[in-house]
Amino acid sequence: MVGHFLKTGKIGAVVVGADRIAANGDTANKIGTYQMAVLAHENSVPFYVAAPISTLDLSIPSGESIPIEERPPEEVTHIRGIQIAPEVEAANPAFDVTPARLITAIITERGVASPPYRDSLARLFSESSLKKASPPARERPAPAR
């Protein structure tokens, strides 16, 4: 359905979240996000990631290094304990990785990162660290009456 709406021009932009963002801007999110990014790219629709700065992990160089949770295969081969698929091995990843080249921009509470992400994400992360390290602003004393 997403492809249909993107192809027919009924969607002007796609905004998704993220569970982890690598230093190069590759982004891990719930399974299916990568497919939406590919469809958006194919149809020239901007694809944005909106996530808190806490999802950024500069120690992870790229999406290839983001660990992907594998859920139990029974979640796709069984319903309420009843087997609905033949005895086969089933893969059930909880996340997929969207390459940075498909992402128009990454939006955080500290600002917007644009390509090249290695530079812009590092800048947002360092600004975030500085703000966390600074002491809180003092409140003004109440005026004397």
- Rounded to two decimals, the pTM is 0.82
pLDDT of residue 59 exceeding 90, the answer is yes
47, 41 contact by CB (below 8 A): yes
pLDDT of residue 56 exceeding 50, the answer is yes
Which of the residues 19, 26, 57, 96 is marked catalytic? Answer: 19
pLDDT of residue 64 exceeding 80, the answer is yes
131, 64 contact by CB (below 8 A): no
> Residue 125 — pLDDT band, cuts 50, 70, 90?
confident
Closest to 111 (Cα-Cα) out of 100, 102, 122, 96 = 122
Per-residue pLDDT, averaged over 134-142, amounts to 48
Q: Is 19 a catalytic residue?
A: yes
Which DSSP category does 124 fall into?
A: H
> Residue 144 — pLDDT band, cuts 50, 70, 90?
low
70, 34 contact by CB (below 8 A): no
Q: What is the pLDDT of residue 88?
A: 86
pLDDT of residue 139 exceeding 60, the answer is no
2, 38 contact by CB (below 8 A): no
Mean pLDDT of the chain: 89
Q: What is the pLDDT of residue 133?
A: 44
Q: Which residues contact 82 (CB under 8 A, 6 or more apart)?
A: none
- Six token digits for residue 135: 């002491």
pLDDT of residue 137 exceeding 60, the answer is no
pLDDT of residue 1 exceeding 70, the answer is yes
What whole-number distance in Å separates Cα of residue 105 and Cα of residue 57?
Answer: 17
Per-residue pLDDT, averaged over 67-71, amounts to 92
pLDDT of residue 141 exceeding 60, the answer is no
Which DSSP category does 109 fall into?
A: T
